[in-house]
A and B are shown apart, each in its own frame.
Chain A
């Protein structure tokens, strides 16, 4: 007597019973499918949203850390000081062994007065940043054309620049290739050695963060040249790259500590890390997802109740069949299994249908809104597991009732 074989055959019996009641089975399948599709879509929206945000934050380099003077000094007794609290001489100390969590960093110097940027009678309103040779790698910038800065460019103050696509279009609309061309910043001539690859920050731009900074309307110079333009040794802020994402806060703290110690508290510093943005994004999306999942689960619950109702009806309707099956040799476990299998089959078929509907909905939403909905393998697995559980939960009570009859009672009912 092969009992596993019996249960496989009973699964077939359950399937036949569903087929005998096609419309009813289909309706309960639809109920479950709607629930699973809703849960799927909500979790896909959440993971898609995160991917969307990360994709844009990656354009800053996810491990980026910004350290700058905290101009809102908290100590009212502090003497007023001028300056950014960062100068050329600080860099040598920072590049030592002070900061093991920092992988590399670049000083960033901004031009103090808006200079005129021109080539012939064409002008640009680009933002100018003075950086070093590490900046492109830290900031996740790639070059469309040309080369990046070399150490010699920085130290010997070579008048070379990297430009964003907008700058290139504004100044050199006719020529596709601006490499080797010169243009003027505040009267001095600079040679274009590279063009930055286009960066998409549509979402961030739409939220209006970063003061509407346009990543494609940038001119990068050796920071030493910006110091020259400004006529001082100041550095506006540091952009560093932490050794890993979860070391970002530590990297910032190490840099701050070195600076505060060096100036004996004359300046205070503050930091921004993308890691903390990511945490915030995670928290917000997590909250939205939790609410969404609760809402979507309600429809799954309704679907499950539907299955429980259908199964209870089926038990009452087929009570005589239950009695017959018992009389010809089924034991209680066989009866329990068959009815439980019917409920689980309904909800698993519903679950699979729901997954497909969810994928379809996700694809459609992606097509219409451009918002990527990413169904994760774990989401799909969860969907299927949940549908099995819903089937078990909604089928258990009716199946128990079916199995609990004395054969003679079941046979006596009409």
Chain B
């Protein structure tokens, strides 16, 4: 599913190069559930963003589902995000002025689906995560756990092969965290490939494999 070789990324701050990703090789096979862990500043979020085609590396080779990801073509990255990838963020990132249903249906708009098709798919995605009764509510009228489940429904709605989650439980209490993780396990059992960043070992434990980064390199 994911083939990464010699990935490298750095930032320049007042003439000093800060290496964020230092020649990382990583392979994730289809249906795998991995957690990327490491101290803050270890480059785990950057690695996740590059895998999710939200960010681009300076050097290295990245293949997603057999396709070479070309960081120079924004349009190509956008298409990969639209077709293959679903995102779950720490802060949910729902559009505050739209209902839960509209938020979940939004990715399908960019696929050119009609409103009725979008809404029916969005409804079944909401059903999948168990928030059907709140579909007309605005994000601000939902609890954190509900918001994150709506966000997961949005990530699932275009039936992506790969789910990317950046600290998905970082803003949740332990009860909601474990609900989200249960949901992730179920999705994993259904065959989704999941890549998750977390700093919480208890959360990391629930993945199949843990990749630990330090100073931009894989240490285990």
Contacts and interface: CB of A to CB of B under 8 A. Distances in A.
A21 to B, nearest CB: 9
Nearest to B75: A331
10 contacts: A6-B109, A6-B112, A16-B97, A325-B106, A327-B93, A328-B81, A329-B83, A330-B82, A331-B82, A407-B55
Nearest first, the 7 closest Cβ-Cβ pairs linking A and B are A329-B82, A331-B78, A329-B110, A328-B107, A408-B55, A407-B54, A2-B112
Is chain A's binding surface mostly helix, strand, loop or mixed?
A: helix
Interface of A: 1-3, 5-6, 9-10, 13, 16-17, 20, 320-321, 323-334, 406-408, 411
Nearest to A328: B107
Contact of A20 (B75, B81, B97, B158): B97
Given A328-B107, A408-B55, 9 more contacts: A2-B112, A16-B97, A20-B97, A330-B110, A406-B54, A406-B55, A407-B54, A407-B55, A411-B54
A9 B94 CA distance: 19
Contacts of B184: none
B21 to A, nearest CB: 13
B154 interface: yes
Q: Interface size bucket, B side?
A: 20 to 34
Contact of A334 (B49, B97, B110): B110
A328 B110 contact: yes
A52 to B, nearest CB: 52
A328 B74 contact: no
Contacts of B83: 329
Interface in B29-84: 49, 52, 54-56, 74-75, 78-79, 81-83
A376 B87 CA distance: 54
Interface of B: 49, 52, 54-56, 74-75, 78-79, 81-83, 87, 89, 93-95, 97-98, 106-107, 109-112, 114-115, 154, 158
A406 B11 CA distance: 15
B95 A324 contact: yes
Contacts of B154: 328
A13, A328, A406, A407 — which one has the most chain B CB atoms within 10 A of its CB? A328
Contact of A331 (B56, B79, B93, B106): B79
A411 B78 contact: no
Contacts of A407: 54-55, 81
Contacts of A333: 75
A331 B74 contact: yes
